[in-house]
Amino acid sequence: MYKVVSLFSGCGGADQGIIGDFIFNKKKYERLPFELVYATDIDQKALNSHMKNFKCENVVCKDICETKSDEIPNCDIVVGGFPCQSFSTVNPTKDPFDDRANLYKQMVRVVRDKQPKVFIAENVKGMMTLHKGQIFNRIIKSFEEVGYTTYTKLFNAADYGVPQKRERVIIVGIRNDLNDVMEYEFPKETNKNNWVPLSVAVPKLAIEQEKYYFSERAVQGMKNAKNNMKRGLYQDLNKPCLTVTSHLAKVSLNSRDPVLLVNPEKELYRRFTPLEAARIQSFPDEFIFAGSETDAYRQIGNAIPPVMFWHIAHSVKDYLEMVELVEIKEAM
């Protein structure tokens, strides 16, 4: 088993992916040879969900800036989706120099001090182009300066069997001594021309729970809004959903939030239920979200899609096993 440290773990989307052993859309994602030995986040409610779904003895609610490296166990892999609000294209007030934008430095510090074989970092697409790519280049350089060769790719979760168009940049870092043995390759797209439709997550439009429907006033407000606003982005069940975000509990018809049009004639719109949102992110139905519905929505929207991350983790597994085989042959 390869030992994994999970930073900024949230409820555990990435951790579900790297461990595997779950079913989504009637497909089994096999158990991978990774053991979660440490998970940390500043959000206790998210960690409450994490603890309900994973067997990990070291789950720590603490600011990573206050966590010393020697408090973190040695490991083979460090995983982290450092906070992305400062880089996100859906955040019009983003400040690339606020404290959250510098949290990548904490992941660099942990990687530098623990020297895992591999690290996997995830963030939003906007990080690649912010300030003409200068910030992204700075992040890459920081990881390379502590002894890693980096590989980057812009992933669309829909290309890997997730019923959602969610673009995220993935950085895989290979420790230089291992990269000298063999270079890493990202997993090939499994659903490039065969996207999974939203209907997998939303089997029926009309539901009984009235609380998920928008009021007549909200619909009228959308109709009265300026024409240049992106209004009522209702989704086609035959296509992947647009990106779901952490404010799913407060979605608006006068925003870029994806919603459902239940009845065009009656102008009935509704938001996704927590279960539907979790499915859109490719969580298995058995995954438990602790806290209120608002807490669940936030945890789901902030998560890394498990199915997409499973494919990345599987490629890392294959890489590490190949490197070990090469090293054994060279030692003979």
> Annotated active-site positions, please?
84
Tell me how far apart the 2 most distant CA atoms of the chain are, in Å.
Answer: 75
Using CA atoms, how far apart are residues 191 and 38, in angstroms rounded to an integer?
32
Token couple for 75: 């490991």
- The residue with tokens 């009637």 is 26
List of residues 6+ apart from 184 with CB closer than 8 A: 149, 151, 172, 174, 315, 316, 319
Question: Can you say how many angstroms the Cα of residue 219 is from the centroid of all Cα atoms in its chain?
Answer: 31
The contacts of residue 254 (CB under 8 Å, 6+ apart) are 221, 222, 225, 229, 231
Burial of 3 from C-beta contacts in 10 A (0-12 / 13-18 / 19+): middle
Helix axes 293-302, 44-53, angle to 10 degrees: 80
How far is it, in rounded angstroms, from Cα 129 to Cα 139? 12
Strand partners, 241: 164
Nearest to 72 by CA among 39, 112, 32: 39
